[in-house]
Amino acid sequence: MKQFKERWEIQENWQLLFPFLGIVGLLYSSFKLAYKFTSDYHIAFTILATLVLYFVFLKITLFLFKKLENKWVVDYKWEMIRIFIVFAITGTSSLFVGRPIIKLLGITKENLNPIVYWILFIIIGLIFYQILLVFFGWLFGQFQFFWTFEKKMLRRFGFKRFID
């Protein structure tokens, strides 16, 4: 445990919450994906597929941590886990918020061309993603990181004059 704390630069025990949430989230995602493809088979096969996917996702995640470690400015390594969690929650939340909004606007697959529907769905989801990213960043104590990230993203979308 001491090596784990040193590796992720954890000073207080409450900071262990973020690696724990990261591991649980990775396991949950692995299970959902494995179950989607193996629900017709025996549960042992689903568990095996979950474990395989978990280790693959863990390797990818640790690779991303290595790549982003020098690019993202954070005080401690455990904060990167917190940032990844914010991105995951924001992506999921933007879909949950976007679906009712698009229905409220009367936009459905039945009354629109499917391509137009999906383009509008992505645009509406992207709008809520921007708002929720800053909100969840603030909620998880990373407001400054996500505000800077948001401004950079909006500049890339061509909204430079509204930010500066």
Examine the domain organization and report whether 16 and 64 are in the same domain: yes
pLDDT for residue 134 = 93
pTM of the shown model: 0.81
Examine the domain organization and report whether 67 and 77 are in the same domain: no
Mean pLDDT of the 14-19 span: 90
100 versus 54: which is more confidently predicted? 54
Examine the domain organization and report whether 63 and 84 are in the same domain: no
Query: Final residue of a domain: which of 71, 97, 132?
Result: 71
Mean pLDDT of the 43-57 span: 94
**Helices in the chain by DSSP H: which ranges?**
2-7, 17-38, 43-68, 78-104, 114-139, 143-156, 160-163
Q: Is the pLDDT of residue 164 over 70?
A: no
Q: Show the tokens assigned to 22.
A: 């990261």
Query: Final residue of a domain: which of 71, 105, 132?
Result: 71
Mean pLDDT of the 97-115 span: 86
Domain tally for the chain?
2
pLDDT for residue 105 = 85
Enclosing domain of residue 21: 1-71
Between the CA of residue 137 and those of 90, 91, 109, what are the distances in Å? 9, 12, 33
Query: Final residue of a domain: which of 71, 97, 119?
Result: 71
Examine the domain organization and report whether 23 and 89 are in the same domain: no
Backbone angles phi, psi at 110, to 5 degrees: -75, -35
Instruction: Confirm if 143 and 86 have CB atoms less than 8 A apart.
Output: no
Examine the domain organization and report whether 76 and 120 are in the same domain: yes
Q: Is the pLDDT of residue 60 over 90?
A: yes
Mean pLDDT of the 36-57 span: 91
